Amino acid sequence: MAEITVRNLLHTYSVGTPFEKTAIRDIDLKIGQGENIFLLGHTGSGKSTFVQHLNALLQPTAGEVLVDGEDINRSKISRRDIKHRIGLVFQYPEYQLFEETVQADIAFGPRNMKLPETEVQERVLEAAGFTGIGEELLSRSPLELSGGQKRRIAIAGVIAMHPEVLILDEPTAGLDPSGSRQIMENIRSYREKTGATIIVVSHDMDSAAEYGDRLIVFERGSVSMDGSPEEVFSHPRELTSIGLNVPKAAALASALRDSGLRLNGPIYTHEQLLSAIRCAGGEPAC
């Protein structure tokens, strides 16, 4: 089980050059096993830099990242092994596909872990199942498939490593609504079946409202908000001031309140909005 503790994390790019830039600073976070997190913030807020510290792809300039109490950067070996436990899916991961078949590409991660071949194949099938990739696709070349399929194959390639923590950087960027929904459902089913921690980096507030249990908002390299959707979305003004929106349902709810409707409770999803309007309209179910 992986419990992540981040202490006083600081990262500066290109130290000692004219391009020196501090990307993140003063980050203290605890992430428990099985949490379902959305990391929000606009481009350049440091969220992508932050997640690359969680599997030791980047080393802190100062501060430390502990998994189950142990510093992940303590040795070269620990830095390698942590990548097997904490999986990171980059933005546009379809650009990393390189093998001749879908099957071989998904198997790349497990093979790097030096697992026996039978287990590798088992994991490939299982990961393909999680991401809804039919067996008939496994022998095809990933390059001839559609954008959405490629994206899911790339995600399967990380899932096949059985990460205890699965981090995805904007997994739905550039996909159409049904493609996006499919991927979010795939991730949800991986979490429900394995109990893995999920961290999704995003700037889509609507999917954060729908799928997230804990929202962490980054601004200029630091954590500016951290709490449940209810807590975070109760500060619409702070969110807009740092270039983020509130979910559409929340925006419509506040417009409804402005036009004199009395809506009860926190509203940030479509379902909440509907039931609140129905109650305000005097429907008997309330």
Partner 1 sequence: MAFIIEFESVRFRYPESDHDSLCDISIGFEPGSFNAILGHNGSGKSTLAKQMNGILLPTEGRVLVSGMDTANEDHLLEIRQTVGMVFQNPDNQIVSNVVEEDVAFAPENLGIPSEEIRERVDNALKQVGMYEYRMHAPHLLSGGQKQRVAIAGVLAMQPKVIVLDEPTAMLDPVGRQEVISTIHRLCREKNITVILITHHMDECIDADRLVVMSNGKIVLDGKPIEVFRNVERMEQEGLDVPETMRVLFDLNLAGEELPPDVLQMKCCAEYIAASLRKREQEAWQK
Partner 2 sequence: MLKDVTLGQYFPGDTVVHRLDPRTKLILVVLYIIALFNTRGWVSNGLILVLTLVCMRVANIRLKNIFKGLKPMLFIIVLTALLNLFYTRGTPIREGWIITWEGMDRAVKMILRITLLITGTFLLTYTTSPMALTDGLEHLLNPLKKLKVPVHALTLMMSMALRFIPTLIEETDKIMSAQRARGADFETGNLIQRAKALLPILVPLFVSAFRRADELAVAMESRCYHGGEGRTRMNELHYTGIDYIALLLGAALTAGIIVMKHFGV
Which chain residues interact with partner 2 by CB under 8 A?
13-14, 17-19, 52, 55, 57, 80, 83-84, 87-90, 93, 95-98, 108-109, 112-113, 143, 157-158, 161
**Footprint (CB under 8 A) of partner 1, residues 29-48:** 42-44
Residue 90 contacts which entry, partner 2, partner 1, none (Cβ below 5-8 A, type-dependent):
partner 2
**Should residue 203 be labelled a site residue for partner 1 when binding is judged by CB under 8 A?**
yes
Cβ(36)–Cβ(51) under 8 Å? no
**Should residue 279 be labelled a site residue for partner 1 when binding is judged by CB under 8 A?**
no
Residue 88 contacts which entry, partner 1, partner 2, none (Cβ below 5-8 A, type-dependent):
partner 2
State which residue, 62 or 274, has the beta carbon closest to partner 1: 274
Instruction: Give least dist CB 90 to partner 2, A.
Output: 5
Instruction: Give least dist CB 25 to partner 2, A.
Output: 19
Q: Find the helix or strand (DSSP H, E) in which 172 lies.
A: none
Residue 113 contacts which entry, partner 1, partner 2, none (Cβ below 5-8 A, type-dependent):
partner 2
Query: What is the Cα–Cα distance from 281 to 78, expressed in whole angstroms?
Result: 59
Q: Strand pairing partners for 24?
A: 11
Tokens of 121: 């194949």
State which residue, 69 or 281, has the beta carbon closest to partner 1: 281
Query: What is the Cα–Cα distance from 208 to 210, expressed in whole angstroms?
Result: 5
Query: What is the Cα–Cα distance from 35 to 212, expressed in whole angstroms?
Result: 9
State which residue, 136 or 258, has the beta carbon closest to partner 1: 258
Cβ(161)–Cβ(87) under 8 Å? yes
Count of residues making up the chain: 286
Query: What is the Cα–Cα distance from 161 to 35, expressed in whole angstroms?
Result: 19
Q: Using CB under 8 A, pick the residue from 81, 222, 245, 266 that binds partner 1.
A: 245
- 7 by DSSP, 3-state: which? strand
Which residues have CB under 8 Å from 13's CB, separation 6+?
19, 20, 21, 22, 23, 49
Label the pairing between strands 36-40 and 214-219: parallel
Of 140, 22, 18, 3, whose CA–CA distance to 72 is shortest? 3
Instruction: Give least dist CB 108 to partner 2, A.
Output: 6
Q: Using CB under 8 A, pick the residue from 134, 178, 237, 284 that binds partner 1.
A: 178
Q: Strand pairing partners for 87?
A: 166
Instruction: Give least dist CB 16 to partner 2, A.
Output: 9
**Should residue 256 be labelled a site residue for partner 1 when binding is judged by CB under 8 A?**
yes
For binding to partner 1 (CB under 8 A), which residues are involved?
Answer: 42-44, 146-148, 173-179, 203, 243-245, 248-249, 251-252, 255-256, 258-261, 270, 273-274, 277-278, 280-282
